[in-house]
Structure 1
Amino acid sequence: MQILTPDLAAMSAPSQSYSQKNSWLFFSAITTLSALLIFASQYLLISDDLYYDALVNQLTVAQVEDFIDKSHQLTWLPYVLLPAINLVKFSALATCLSLGYYMLTNRWLFIPFFRIAIQAELVLLLPNVVKLLWFLLIQPDYNLTDLQYFYPLSLLNLLDPTDVSTWLLYPLQLINLFEVAYWIVLAYTVSRLVGWSVNRGLGMVAASYGTGLLLWVVFIMFLSISLS
């Protein structure tokens, strides 16, 4: 099979080093941006009153206050876990894309696909920005359930989450226009990287990332059914 960009498999050592350095710079930037969005959500959207209103009918006042105190003590946890979560997430996507590329070309790429995974993450951060602006400006009167299940431009937003089975919540959230845009960005950047048409790049993304995503969704649905 003819490859239009043979230099990919024979990068010089300096170019590989430069590529890896850029990848970690992108990684740091995306992780920092994600942390800022978490910070904004924690301090602009979530309040003690929100927790109290959600739990007061299920727990005693003392239990609710204890829960709120513990949540305050753990506000640092997402920031500590975020780099590891992003590393696993981007590495998993890069591995899926690398496997798809290897199956088609018998060549293995990882660092370029790792960088693509990081860059494409910008698309998946947009719903968090929209969510923040939505509850600050459009729907300032909200409860914890609204906050938990809101995902802009998703199929779940067309339904009442309280009427949906628990195991269907995640897949319904996942069916959204931002996910479609994410696939398109992946297909475009992959095609630019390896010199393919966008359609062929989309086919590789569907076969690699799409398969991995399907397995992940099935796993989450299985957990939801087991724990419900």
Structure 2
Amino acid sequence: MSTSQNHRFLIADDLLAVNRWTYFLLLCVATFLLLFIKKSFIESRIAAFEIMEGKGEMGIFHVISALQYLSIPLYYLWKFTVTSFVLWVGCFMFGYKITYSQLWKIVLISETLFLLPDLMKTGWFMLVESDPSYWDVKAFYPLSLMNFFDYELVDKRWHYPLKAINLFEISYWFILVYLIHISAKKKLSYAYNIVFSSYVLFFFVWLGFYLIVYK
């Protein structure tokens, strides 16, 4: 094993050794701060919202914002639980001995990656496109397929799938593979089979379901 590879293994082991609830709390705090910055410095400056604020018509939006903040830990708990279960089923199918608890921590750590697109999106609208519309903000997702299209010309049912397929999501798959490989200490090829036959398959099935039921 090369020195660089051994170093990566040590980093991964250190991450997997952290206390899950401490890490969960830090992730929630980071997400809360990014959401606060986005709402304070981007959404609050959208012209339509400024007009509504002046007319005292922003009450419902303030309620929705409060619910978004409060729902952060609940959303993460739900997402990690479902994703871990899907991966656990994949492990079971391939006879890969790894506990649900280990998978939950792997999913938790891997989720950190998705702070980057939120950070990039915030930076983009604060520094580059400083006068966006509400729909500009809603349709934008860094390094996604949506960037290749004019969202105004795309059927709205395709907005979510085109944003969901992005470089960060794909990178997430490989992080899951690597951490499962490290955690179970088995062949890397098995970890690829598990992730791509369970989580990745479920991901595309979900997008297909979304397109079918969208109205």
Offset of residue 112 of structure 1: 0.6
Mapping of 1:77-226 within 5 angstroms?
A: 77-105=67-95, 107=97, 109-224=99-214
Cα distance in 2 for partners of 1:90, 1:20 equals 18
Q: 40-49 or 27-36: which moved more?
A: 40-49
1: CA distance, partners of 2:98 / 2:146:
38
Give the aligned residue type for 1:184.
F
2:97 touches 2:184 (CA, 8 Å); kept in 1? no
Structure 1 residues 103 and 84: CA distance shift in structure 2, 3 A: same
Q: Which 5+ residue runs of structure 1 have no aligned equivalent? A: 1-18
Is 2:60 aligned against 1:70?
yes
Contact kept? 1:167, 1:221, Cα under 8 Å: yes
Query: In structure 2, how many angstroms separate the alpha carbons of the residues matched to 1:178 and 1:21?
Result: 23
Query: Does the residue aligned with 2:141 lie in a helix, a strand or coil?
Result: coil
Aligned length: 200
Matches within 5 A, 1:2-41: 22-41=19-38
Which amino acid is the alignment partner of residue 25 of structure 2? S
Q: Deviations over 1:195-225 (max 9, x none)?
A: 123333122101111122123212322332x
Q: Deviations over 1:14-51 (max 9, x none)?
A: xxxxx898222221111111111111111011126433
Shift of the 67–158 alpha-carbon distance from structure 1 to 2, 3 Å rule, reads farther
Task: Report the TM-score, using the length of structure 1 for normalisation.
Answer: 0.79
Q: Hey, what's the Cα distance between the residues in 2 that align with 1:211 and 1:66?
A: 46
Say which SS state the counterpart of residue 65 (structure 2) adopts: coil
Does the Cα contact within 8 Å between 1:171 and 1:217 map onto a contact in 2?
yes
Q: Evaluate the alpha carbon distance shift between residue 130 and residue 195 of structure 1 in structure 2; reply closer, same or farther with a 3 A threshold.
A: same
Cα drift, residue 150 of structure 1: 0.5
After TM superposition, the score normalised by the length of structure 2 is: 0.84
1:45 and 1:135 in contact (8 A); partners too = yes
Query: Cα RMSD between the aligned structures?
Result: 2.4
- Which structure has the larger Rg? 1
* Percent of residue pairs identical: 27
1: CA distance between counterparts of 2:46 and 2:180? Answer: 46
Runs of 4+ in 1 over 4 A off after TM superposition: 64-67
Pair 1:48–1:223, CA change in 2 (3 A): farther
